[in-house]
Amino acid sequence: MKELDNFYFRQEEPVKSCMLALRSIILSQHEEITAEWKYGMPFFCFKGKMFCYIWLHKKYNMPYIGMVEGKHIEHPKLIQENRSRMKIMLFEADKDLPVKTIEQIVQKAIGLYVSGEIKIK
């Protein structure tokens, strides 16, 4: 089993199911989003450029999506914390995911890359 797949299956429920659902939602947003293993965590790239990642918040013990270029995205569900570039969206693993909101945020991020606001090499 690849390290990327192993990451998800090492998580305990309900975090594992939540993270797998987040992965599925992210990958379904565009055919050029790919799942990769970078920096010891599950990353998603758009046309090879780092796009977002899934992780578990140490303080709150909640899964989250980290948007790499989050500083360019305004949405009330995204929080910056002490990050200069990234913003995150936290999820309660035992609750239904806000799929429409996740899709909106991911689509806004895709728009940044497609518009050229974020340079893709």
25 close to 103: Cβ distance less than 8 angstroms: yes
Q: Residue 6 is which amino acid?
A: N
Dump pLDDT digits (tens) for 46-100: 999 999 999 999 999 999 999 999 999 999 999 999 988 999 999 999 999 999 9
Dump pLDDT digits (tens) for 34-46: 999 999 999 999 9
20 close to 12: Cβ distance less than 8 angstroms: no
Residues in CB range of 112: below 8 A, 6 or more apart: 69, 72, 73, 118
* Closest by CA position to 44, among listed 58, 16, 62, 25: 25
Q: What's this model's pTM, rounded to 2 decimal places?
A: 0.93
* Closest by CA position to 67, among listed 28, 108, 120: 108
Ordered structural domains, the chain, with CATH: 3-115 (3.90.1150.200)
